[in-house]
């Protein structure tokens, strides 16, 4: 049973709809962060600041009688949207052409605003400190989280928590996992530089296409032959461009892709193997190369202690039957890792599907949709954690 009042529930939905209508891209969340800032300023007892141009931090210092050792906890919501043209039928669809909240960050922000409001009204019962982190730029490495960590937003924090929506489970459920949750995500681009010429005389050329094909194929050896099966990363070549005519061997081809790894050591080894394979194959064929790396996020590792708190609170809010154990880590990336590397942290997934939607369109899809009834549970979850750790 939800504990959120009807008024707050409606307010959270209204916030979410406003944010959904006016999405902004990573590092450009000017109106979004201003909106969040203004809402927080209206709540009593919050110290509201702007750690960076497009992020907001609200701090609630409890006025309750101090426990022996009051805790400092942090809740994080991300606020950025994606370069996607929305294709849903909802009445509050994006008004910003080509930009959409297709990853549910509008819901994350609205839920955390709801929790801030509910908790700010109960400062008298709270001991210690609660930080509400409204983070910019989750979708675009190097990400907003690392900037905020560098600004000190999680300094002396005992535990940090966050929620991400999932369209694969129904509203009223939560998915929980301890340990490794998400993979690191590093992207690469490789330019193979050969020497083009007439297709009829390949012996007079250095054919970059054939070299590129060798590279693409050999990169799969990283997964199948270089690293232990139980720790194998994902190596996907997702781009291969070259050539302009059927009778010309081109000068160059470009390929690119991504590496997703669940631990730091495998991440480093996989990257080194990519570099080694590119160098070896191009040299063997007399070609040269340029490799560009786009470093992504480290993998998110959920602390056992923080997850124990999440689980206990989730069971009381969602009911034991609606707490779903996540058996396998996911190979998507999340910049919450910048926080989970600093303090014991727990990022979990809240169900937002409604069977009436029909197909559950994935995150980052133009038809991705959220059942707003889920939002109250998210508010309850944050409030429940605060009650467990910071109430008298
Ligand atoms: Ni996301």
- The candidate with the shortest Cα–Cα distance to 373, out of 110, 162, 18, is 110
pLDDT number for residue 252: 98
pLDDT over 90 for what percent of the chain?
A: 96
Buried b (16+ CB within 10 A) or exposed e, 163-199: bbbbbebbbbbbbbbbeebbbbbbbbebbbebbbbee
Reply yes or no on whether the pLDDT at 377 is more than 90: yes
- pLDDT, position 87: 98
Q: If you measure from the C-alpha of residue 341 to the centroid of ligand 1, how many angstroms do you get, rounded to a whole number?
A: 18
Burial class (CB in 10 A: 0-12, 13-18, 19+), 42: exposed
Q: Parallel, antiparallel, or unpaired for β 323-325 and 159-170?
A: unpaired
The pLDDT assigned to 1 comes to: 47
Q: What is the spatial distance between Cα 282 and Cα 278, in angstroms, rounded to a whole number?
A: 6
Read off the pTM.
Answer: 0.92
Fold category of 6-183+299-390 in CATH: Aminopeptidase (3.40.630)
pLDDT tens profile 39-96: 999 999 999 999 999 999 999 999 988 767 899 999 999 999 999 999 999 999 999 9
Query: 116 CA distance to ligand 1 centroid (A)?
Result: 21
CB atoms within 10 A of CB 134: 31
Query: Do 205 and 249 contact (CB within 8 A), yes or no?
Result: yes
Q: What is the mean pLDDT of the chain?
A: 96
Taking a C-beta distance cutoff of 8 angstroms, is the pair 174, 322 a contact?
Answer: yes
Distance 77 CA to ligand 1 centre (A): 10
Q: What contacts 212, CB < 8 A, 6 or more positions away?
A: 190, 192, 240, 242, 253, 255
Q: How far is CA 280 from the centre of its chain?
A: 35
Question: Which of 116, 137, 135, 133 minimizes the C-alpha distance to 39?
Answer: 116
Q: Separation of 379 CA from ligand 1 center, angstroms?
A: 18
Write out the catalytic residue numbers: 297, 372
Kindly write down the DSSP assignment for every residue of 213-243, as one continuous string: HHHHHHHHHIIIIIS-GGG--EEEEEEEEE-
| Residue 389 near residue 313 (C-beta atoms within 8 A) | no
Distance 137 CA to ligand 1 centre (A): 10
- Check if the beta carbon of residue 363 is closer than 8 Å to that of residue 103: yes
Residue pair 76/336 in contact by the 8 Å Cβ criterion: yes
The DSSP call for residue 383 is H
Compute the distance from residue 160 Cα to the ligand 1 centre, in Å.
17
**Start and end residues for every CATH 3.30.70.360 domain found in the chain:** 184-294
Q: How far does the centroid of ligand 1 lie from the alpha carbon of residue 292, in Å?
A: 25
Q: State the fold for domain 184-294.
A: Alpha-Beta Plaits (3.30.70)
Q: Which helix (H) or strand (E) holds 102?
A: none
**Residue 11: strand pairing partners:** none
pLDDT tens profile 205-220: 999 999 999 999 999 9
Residues of the chain with CATH 3.40.630.10: 6-183+299-390
């Amino acid at each position: 049973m939800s504990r959120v009042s009807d008024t707050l529930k409606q307010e959270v939905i209204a916030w979410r709809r406003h944010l959904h209508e006016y999405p902004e891209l990573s590092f450009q969340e000017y109106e979004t962060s201003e909106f969040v800032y203004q809402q927080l300023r209206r709540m009593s007892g919050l110290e509201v600041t702007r750690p960076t141009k497009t992020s907001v931090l609200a701090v609630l210092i409890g006025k309750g009688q101090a426990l022996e050792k009051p805790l400092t906890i942090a809740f994080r919501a991300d606020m950025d949207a994606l370069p996607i043209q929305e294709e849903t039928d909802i009445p509050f669809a994006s008004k910003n052409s080509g930009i959409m909240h297709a990853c549910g960050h509008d819901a994350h922000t609205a839920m955390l605003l709801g929790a801030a409001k509910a908790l700010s009204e109960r400062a008298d019962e709270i001991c210690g400190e609660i930080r509400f982190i409204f983070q910019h730029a989750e979708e675009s490495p190097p990400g907003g989280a690392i900037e905020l960590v560098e600004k000190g937003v999680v300094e002396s924090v005992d535990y940090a928590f966050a929620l991400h929506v999932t369209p694969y489970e129904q509203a009223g459920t939560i998915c929980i996992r301890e340990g490794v949750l998400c993979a690191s995500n590093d992207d690469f681009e490789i330019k193979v530089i050969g020497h083009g010429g007439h297709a009829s005389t390949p012996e007079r050329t250095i054919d970059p296409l054939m070299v590129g094909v060798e590279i693409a194929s050999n990169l799969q050896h990283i997964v199948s032959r270089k690293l232990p099966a139980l720790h194998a990363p994902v190596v996907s070549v997702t781009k291969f461009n070259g050539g302009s005519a059927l009778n010309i061997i081109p000068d160059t081809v470009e390929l690119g892709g991504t590496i997703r790894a669940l631990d730091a050591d495998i991440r480093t080894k996989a990257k080194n193997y990519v570099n080694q394979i590119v160098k070896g194959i191009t040299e063997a064929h007399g070609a040269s190369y340029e490799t560009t790396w786009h470093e992504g996020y480290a993998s998110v590792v959920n602390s056992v202690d923080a997850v124990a708190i999440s689980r206990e609170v989730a069971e009381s809010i969602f009911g034991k039957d609606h707490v779903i154990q996540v058996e396998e880590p996911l190979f998507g990336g999340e910049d919450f890792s910048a926080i989970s590397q600093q303090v014991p942290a727990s990022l979990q997934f809240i169900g937002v599907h409604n069977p009436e939607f029909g197909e559950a369109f994935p995150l980052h899809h133009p038809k991705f949709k959220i059942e707003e009834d889920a939002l109250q549970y998210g508010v309850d979850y944050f409030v429940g954690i605060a009650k467990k750790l910071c109430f008298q």
